Amino acid sequence: MTDTTDPDSLPANVRRLVEEMENDADDVAATLEGRGSPGLVGSRLEEAVRQILVEIGEDADRDGLRGTPERMHRMYLELTAGYHVDADRLVNHALFDVDYSEMVVVRDIPFYSLCEHHMLPFFGHAHVAYVPDGKVIGLSKIPRIVEMYARRLQVQERMTQQIAELLMDRLAPRGVGVVLEATHLCAAMRGVRKPGTVMTTSAVLGLFRRNEKTRAEFFAHIGRPVPSA
């Protein structure tokens, strides 16, 4: 689901993130100047946060917590800004005709997301590859696509598939491969309480699904040590 809310109705910090993901602007702040920021005080989210503080036995009016509902409101809007990004505007005119048919790999893309089950963070790295069929996509767009889906309430399996399907749909390559490796705080802080556990998910479409050698090449690329600068 993509919520393409009118950007002018969003708080400035969220609009800034949406603009960055869609436009890769060098100075996004300049495009936002003068638009103002809608008020956040008194929202239902803030009222809900205040109620949570009361339910866990806290004093919601003490100095350290008095501003917490508004801070959490702003934080959650920022961490879920991906709902407001338009995928078409993100890809924009960044598809280029290129006579190149070998694998393109963008690896070790950092991401941070929120698990939809407990709204606790999970974070790690994404590795994305595709085999072009006459077109390539601008390098910066792949990390932006990862960020768009990460800035939503997610499960890692779905996020992996969404990244692969969007690239397959917009770029029409011969195939796409995506691997996500992440640590989930819902497993480290609560429940089984196993810090250091890493979850790996993959999605392979087109040539990556049909051809074992293509899959093996992709996994070999992401398994190699990162070259030193």
User: How far apart (Å, rounded) are the C-alpha atoms in residues 132 and 165?
Assistant: 15
The residue annotated as part of the active site, out of 58, 70, 78, 186, is 186
User: How far apart (Å, rounded) are the C-alpha atoms in residues 114 and 134?
Assistant: 36
The residue annotated as part of the active site, out of 73, 84, 127, 184, is 184
The residue annotated as part of the active site, out of 20, 78, 118, 165, is 118
116 catalytic residue (yes or no): yes
93 catalytic residue (yes or no): no
117 catalytic residue (yes or no): yes
The residue annotated as part of the active site, out of 47, 51, 116, 157, is 116
User: How far apart (Å, rounded) are the C-alpha atoms in residues 13 and 32?
Assistant: 10
The residue annotated as part of the active site, out of 47, 51, 117, 157, is 117
The residue annotated as part of the active site, out of 19, 22, 46, 115, is 115
184 catalytic residue (yes or no): yes
Residue labelled with tokens 């300049």? 30
73 catalytic residue (yes or no): no
User: How far apart (Å, rounded) are the C-alpha atoms in residues 188 and 99?
Assistant: 46
User: How far apart (Å, rounded) are the C-alpha atoms in residues 179 and 199?
Assistant: 10
The residue annotated as part of the active site, out of 127, 147, 154, 156, is 156
Which residues participate in catalysis according to the annotation?
Answer: 115-118, 156, 184, 186
